Amino acid sequence: SQQGEEDPQALSIQEGENATMNCSYKTSINNLQWYRQNSGRGLVHLILIRSNEREKHSGRLRVTLDTSKKSSSLLITASRAADTASYFCATGHNAGNNRKLIWGLGTSLAVNP
Amino acid sequence: SQTIHQWPATLVQPVGSPLSLECTVEGTSNPNLYWYRQAAGRGLQLLFYSVGIGQISSEVPQNLSASRPQDRQFILSSKKLLLSDSGFYLCAWSVIWGSGANVLTFGAGSRLTVL
């Protein structure tokens, strides 16, 4: 079942601009992850933020988590054409089976050169 | 280093024909293994996951089945394909971190078209 909802569904920006994608979820989480998918390829894990963390950085990526609002954002700074891809959030949970992630529907990002 | 192989990459099959997609993982032991399906422009739907040899959990009732004959081998099958089985199938493996986080590594995917 889908829990995460990313917005916007699609985003088109110019190279060098920042891209912000948001993810909302419904139930309590252990962690939230962001993945990237190039067209026709498998997903690649980008970054994980735990429920007790508020912000995390990895290179040009910045992820924030607001558990009170049940939302997260992914910021890509100084975007490049190679950042063009779909970005998915996925939530991990403690209760019951923690082996299953719950996925959002993704944000399609186009970075125009 | 760990790698995951998934094949075939592309498959066109007639309705009613059988299906076999295979996935193997190298460089890790006793991984959790997953089969996902992704419809065009949509998110991921978990089909099956396995925590060990012969242990398969099904998430969605359907005409697909999965098997894990070896520790690092995961197979998705169907005896008779339906048009609705068309999609992009992704195999993945994971290990559970000490914190309880479950991070997935995906294969390159198999695009199935049922005609």
Res B64 pLDDT > 90 = yes
Alpha helices in A1-113 (DSSP H): none
Residues of chain A contacting residue B32, judged by C-beta atoms under 8 Å apart: 99
- Residues of chain A where predicted confidence (pLDDT) is lower than 70: 1-4, 95-99
Task: Give the residue extent of every domain in chain A.
Answer: 5-112
**C-alpha–C-alpha distance, residues B11 and B94, integer Å:** 26
Question: What distance in Å separates the CA atoms of residue B17 and residue B85, rounded to the nearest whole number?
Answer: 11
pLDDT at site A2:
45
pLDDT at A1: 40
Q: Which residues of B touch A88 (CB under 8 A)?
A: 43-44
Helix (H, G, I), strand (E, B) or coil at A81: helix
Residue A76's Cβ-count burial label (10 Å; 0-12, 13-18, 19+) is buried
- The answer to whether the CB atoms of A100 and B102 lie below 8 A apart is yes
- Under an 8 A CB cutoff, do B102 and A101 touch? yes
Q: Residue B88, Cβ neighbours under 10 Å: how many?
A: 19
Query: B76-106, pLDDT tens digit by residue?
Result: 999 999 999 999 999 999 977 767 778 899 9
Class assignment of domain B16-95? mainly beta
pLDDT for A98 equals 56
Q: What per-residue confidence (pLDDT) applies to A47?
A: 96
Per-residue pLDDT tens digits for A43-73? 999 999 999 999 999 999 999 999 999 999 9
Q: What is the pLDDT of residue A39?
A: 92
pLDDT tens track for B2-38: 899 999 999 999 999 999 999 999 998 889 999 999 9
Instruction: For domain A5-112, give the fold.
Output: Immunoglobulin-like (2.60.40)
Q: Which of residues 23-82 of B touch A (CB under 8 A)?
A: 32, 42-44, 46, 49, 51, 59
Q: Is A40 on the interface with B (CB under 8 A)?
A: yes
> Chain A contacts of B43, Cβ < 8 Å?
2, 88, 103-106
Contact with chain B for residue A113, Cβ under 8 A: no
